[in-house]
Structure 1
Amino acid sequence: MAKSIRHEMPYDAPVEAVAAMLTDPAFREEVCRAQGAVRHQVSVEGTTVTIDQWLPTAGVPSFARKIVGDETNIVQVERWDTPSRGDIEVSIPGKPGDMRGSAVLVPSGTGTLETVELTVKVSIPLVGGKLEGLIADLLLKALKAEHRTGIAYLSR
């Protein structure tokens, strides 16, 4: 069982500017704060971006909180093979499951469209499907925060 998500984020900037933003540690730090991270660490080595953050789980249903706790550690690694395409892996250390997919940047009108596609898989009998849906919803919320932060970043 797995849950797939697709999210599009339009930016009013050329592909090169969006690609540079996505590998800028300062931008990633802003995104962590916008997502409400309790603590975080961002590293960029070449075209590999690693974000290690702890997010509060307030509002998470009780069946899921038993598994993830009051805070959960999320590690996101993006490997950009080209300035316009990257592979994404998201893990929750010590918990069963992962998210994998890609981000693609394409010119769109006078700007850029970033499309993120991820597949969420949780290997827990009985509640895995519910957790996949919950995680997919949380990922969409995080991507929306990243998009808002990106619009502000690119407008400076």
Structure 2
Amino acid sequence: MNLTRELAYAAPVPTVLAMLQDPAFWDQVAAATGARESRTTVDRIGDVVEVVTDQQQDVVGVPSFAKRFVGESTQAIVRQTWRGEEAGYVVDSPGKPISISGSATVTASAAGSVLTYDLDVKAGVPLVGGKLEKLVCDLTAEGLEKEHAVGVRWLADRG
């Protein structure tokens, strides 16, 4: 199942990229999304910047059919591999039948810039896989909206 979201920011592309590559930004996103634990590392090798966020979250508000697949908590390891204004984007949830992969791209706009996530959500579960994918898409979209709100504040505080 595909999930595409565009997050508009009133800041130029280099400023948004700097935000997305700052562990302190991801700490604030983790707090906004209710993560129990979160740690972000940033590695720069030449022109490639790898941002990895490893976090634990309680599973809240999911239907009973999903609880048996995702449990009471989940670990999400988000790996963004930035090359210029584009990143490969992968979310691994060890031990869970769910994967997310795709891209993140920052482009210039008249008002500043737009961060576009184009993600593919897969659930390797027979019979209820489609329902689980929809649920994960909805939860991911909700998380991206919280990320956007943190980003807007982040940029306003530093602008």
- TM-score by length of structure 1 reads 0.96
SS at match of 1:45: strand
**Which residue among 57, 60, 77 is the counterpart of 2:59?**
57
Alignment of 1:62-77 (within 5 A): 62-77=64-79
| RMSD of aligned Cα (Å) | 0.8
- Which runs of 4 or more aligned residues in structure 1 lie more than 6 Å from their structure 2 counterparts after TM superposition? none
AA aligned opposite 2:109 = S
Q: Tell me what 1:11 maps to.
A: 9
Read off the aligned partner of 1:30 and give its amino acid letter.
Q
Letter in 2 for 1:20: A
Aligned to 2:119: 118
Question: Does residue 21 of structure 1 match 2:19?
Answer: yes
SS in 2 for 1:29: helix
Count of matched residue positions in the alignment of Structure 1 and Structure 2: 153
Report the equivalent of 1:128: 129
- Matches of 1:39 and 1:93 in 2, distance apart? 16
Query: Is 1:48 aligned to 2:50, yes or no?
Result: yes
Distance 2:87 2:59 in 1: 28
CA distance in structure 2 between the aligned counterparts of 1:56 and 1:95, rounded to whole angstroms: 14
Inter-partner Cα distance in structure 2 for 1:90 and 1:122: 12
Identity of aligned residues (%): 40
TM-score calculated relative to the size of structure 2 = 0.94
1:2-39 Cα offsets, whole Å, 9 max, x none, are x1010000000000000000000000110011110011
Cα deviation, 1:58-93, whole Å, max 9, x if unaligned, reads: 1111111111111111110000011x1111001111
In 2, Cα distance between equivalents of 1:66 and 1:110: 44
Q: Which runs of 5+ in 1 are unaligned?
A: none
SS in 1 for 2:140: helix
Q: Deviation at 1:97?
A: 2.7
